[in-house]
Amino acid sequence: MHSRALHALLITVTLSFMPAAVRPGVDSPGILASQVSFSSVVPIPASSVAAPGIVHDITTNTAIFADTGAIGIADYLAQKLRTSTGYTLPVRATPGVGGIQLLLTGAPPSVGAQGYQLDVSTDAIVVRANQPAGLFHGVQTLRQLLPVAAEATTVQPGPWPVPGGTIVDQPRFVYRGAMLDVARHFFNVAQVKRYIDQLVLYKVNHLHLHLSDDQGWRIVIDSWPRLATVGGSTAVNRDPGGYYTKAEFSDIVNYAAARFVTIVPEIDMPGHTNAALASYAELNCDGNAPPLYTGTRVGFSSLCVSLPLTYTFVDDVVRELTALTPGPYFHIGGDEASSTTPADYTTFVNRAQGIVAGHGKTVSGWHDVVNADELPSTVLQYWNTSGTNNAVAAAAARGTKVIMSPASKAYLDMKYQNSTRLGLKWAGLIEVQTAYEWDPATFLTGVGEASVLGVEGPLWSETIRTSADIEFMAFPRLPALMELAWSPRSTHSWTGFQQRLGAQGPRWRVMGMNYYQSRQITWPEGS
Ligand code: TNX
């Protein structure tokens, strides 16, 4: 038997992982060998046909050929693979022969703006898409078809086989999101970038940053400097505060954009505003600034709806943040405003929507904003646990789009089990199966497939302080949510997912990530 073909059979190597973090190049080579196949890709592709016995090896001679418009993606892939393979992997303009080809021609129209076709043959690895975003998603699939050692941060011995076949893949929903609460605890630029790098592997294309809350204000606003310097000084439990300068925020936006992730900034209003009210006495109805707050209660603060200065403030904040944010959405929060009267809530949300629209952005908000007069373009983010909400259903019937984040399924800050060290449980315990076993298009009565813009996994950070904490709560539930958001419903299978997800564990190890080793998942031995 040809040694390549033999290798294709032998990549089914029994894994033996050390309980501690893997040290690529130090631990035994077996740690880095793992079984990859078309059936270990998450989210599962819309369609795939394996070519048994066909393998394409990436070798020292492999070049990456890219169409104009795909050079950046080729550089991204080359950089990742150079680190682990040690090969030069030159990036060249098309046309070329063999190697890895990233092409903006020849993809089926059916894959749309975000989908791709991936063909792996003995001759070449070819990714085709109609738009760069599709190529990027195809490259993420390709990463998952390589041995996990390809994710190592030091040079590994190889070989680097990719299983042969064809994948034609496109998303079910256009919006696939994660939310990070940087207000309850602050996460710096490096931590946000690290999370972005982990998210894109599962085809997330929006990162919603919850930039303000009672416990902290996290972005510099030049016309209201004390928001950051005073309001940003605290965090839950008196942990260190922090904020992004405008340059840092732009750095995050650009880093995300280079990975086809749109940043959605949220300034939560009119409730969840104690950090702002504590920074400026004149924003309070009684002219007195409340103390800064480091607890975890919700619903006690409100902007002063009758005060003209409130709208100057909102306009300044929206204008300055909008100038930093190329994406279409501005999230106005709007949740849990229990210290605002219903009439004031409506007045405030209506004016805030007008301000956001006036600055050229589409409003998104927690679904509570349906209690005001939502604009036809406003996107509602549904967070409640109930499968019935007449107001949201009525809005959907009028054409309003909904992002599904039901807390009992999608909240990444809920505990997995009672014994989980991190997290809350007001919306219930969310084991991996619970996160996977629901349908975004049937969860909420009256909000069907056509009304669902997508799915988002919010990670509130009352109990979350480190990157290791973020990873523990997001993995593996975020990939579960992203399979719901990306893969056609016809592919849905818990038993299939248990296997697919298990195959990700070794990859997370090599990437140096923390994750929850759920007993519901078939992890490769020892991982
Ligand atoms: C509810 S649901 C909140 C947040 C909390 C979270 C904790 C919603 C839009 N708001 O203020 O951080 O629960 O799980």
CB-based contact 50:491 (threshold 8 Å): no
Angle, in degrees to the nearest 10, between helices 71-85 and 132-145: 20
SS3 of 424-485: the string is ECCCCCCCHHHHHCCCCCCCCCCCCHHHEEEEEEEECCCCCCCHHHHHHHHCCHHHHHHHHH
Our mutation pick for probing the ligand 1 site, out of 296, 332, 335, counting the most ligand atoms within 8 A of Cβ, is 335
Minimal-distance CA residue to ligand 1 atom 12? 460
Q: How far is the CA of 384 from the centre of ligand 1 (A)?
A: 10
The β-bridge partners of 249 are none
Distance (Å, rounded) from C-alpha 231 to C-alpha 276? 6
Can you give the length of the chain in residues? 527
CB-based contact 292:234 (threshold 8 Å): yes
pLDDT at 524: 87
Our mutation pick for probing the ligand 1 site, out of 213, 300, 336, counting the most ligand atoms within 8 A of Cβ, is 336
Minimal-distance CA residue to ligand 1 atom 7? 460
515 lines ligand 1 (CB under 6 A): no
| Phi, psi for 244 (deg, rounded to 5) | -95, 135
Residue 18 pLDDT more than 50? no
Distance (Å, rounded) from C-alpha 373 to C-alpha 376? 9
Q: Which residues are catalytic?
A: 336
336 lines ligand 1 (CB under 6 A): yes
Q: What is the pLDDT of residues 262-283, one digit of tens each?
A: 999 999 999 999 999 999 999 9
Q: How far is the CA of 495 from the centre of ligand 1 (A)?
A: 31
> Count of CB atoms within 10 A of residue 365's CB?
27
Q: Which atom of ligand 1 is nearest to the CA of 407?
A: 2
> Count of CB atoms within 10 A of residue 73's CB?
26
119 lines ligand 1 (CB under 6 A): no
> Count of CB atoms within 10 A of residue 418's CB?
7
Q: Which atom of ligand 1 is nearest to the CA of 461?
A: 12
Residue 4 pLDDT more than 90? no
pLDDT at 22: 40
Q: Which of 43, 35, 46 is nearest to 10 (CA)?
A: 35
> 3-class SS at 239?
coil
Q: How far is the CA of 145 from the centre of ligand 1 (A)?
A: 37
Residue 297 pLDDT more than 60? yes
Radius of gyration of the chain (CA): 24
424 lines ligand 1 (CB under 6 A): yes
Q: Which helix (H) or strand (E) holds 392?
A: helix 390-397
Q: Which atom of ligand 1 is nearest to the CA of 460?
A: 12
Strands 124-128 vs 99-103: parallel, antiparallel or unpaired = parallel
469 lines ligand 1 (CB under 6 A): no
Minimal-distance CA residue to ligand 1 atom 9? 335
Is the pTM value of this prediction over 0.85? Answer: yes
Q: Which atom of ligand 1 is nearest to the CA of 333?
A: 9
Mean per-residue pLDDT, 244-249: 98
Q: How far is the CA of 206 from the centre of ligand 1 (A)?
A: 19
Distance (Å, rounded) from C-alpha 416 to C-alpha 423? 8
pLDDT at 10: 30
Distance (Å, rounded) from C-alpha 367 to C-alpha 456? 13
Q: Which atom of ligand 1 is nearest to the CA of 184?
A: 12
Q: Which of 437, 484, 515 is nearest to 173 (CA)?
A: 484
User: 527: pLDDT confidence band, cut at 50, 70 and 90?
Assistant: low
| Phi, psi for 336 (deg, rounded to 5) | 45, 45
Q: What is the pLDDT of residues 81-107, one digit of tens each?
A: 999 999 999 999 999 999 999 999 999
What 386-395 contacts at long range (C-beta under 8 Å, 24+ apart), as own/partner pairs, is 387/443, 387/444, 387/445, 388/444, 388/445, 389/444, 390/446, 392/367, 392/444, 392/446, 392/447, 393/444, 393/445, 393/446, 393/447, 394/446, 395/370
Q: What is the pLDDT of residues 331-373, one digit of tens each?
A: 999 998 899 999 999 999 999 999 999 999 999 999 999 999 9
Distance linking the first and last C-alpha atoms of the chain:
31
Q: What is the pLDDT of residues 372-382, one digit of tens each?
A: 999 999 999 99
What 306-309 contacts at long range (C-beta under 8 Å, 24+ apart), as own/partner pairs, is 306/344, 307/283, 309/282, 309/283
Mean per-residue pLDDT, 412-439: 98
CB-based contact 431:494 (threshold 8 Å): no
Distance (Å, rounded) from C-alpha 196 to C-alpha 256? 7
Q: Which of 209, 200, 261, 237 is nearest to 460 (CA)?
A: 209
| Average pLDDT along the chain | 93
Q: Which residues neighbour 338 within 8 Å (Cβ) at sequence distance 6 or greater? A: 271, 298, 299, 300
**Residue recorded with tokens 């646990």:** 385
Maximum Cα–Cα distance across the chain: 84
299 lines ligand 1 (CB under 6 A): no
User: 35: pLDDT confidence band, cut at 50, 70 and 90?
Assistant: low
Distance (Å, rounded) from C-alpha 454 to C-alpha 484? 9
Q: How far is the CA of 407 from the centre of ligand 1 (A)?
A: 9
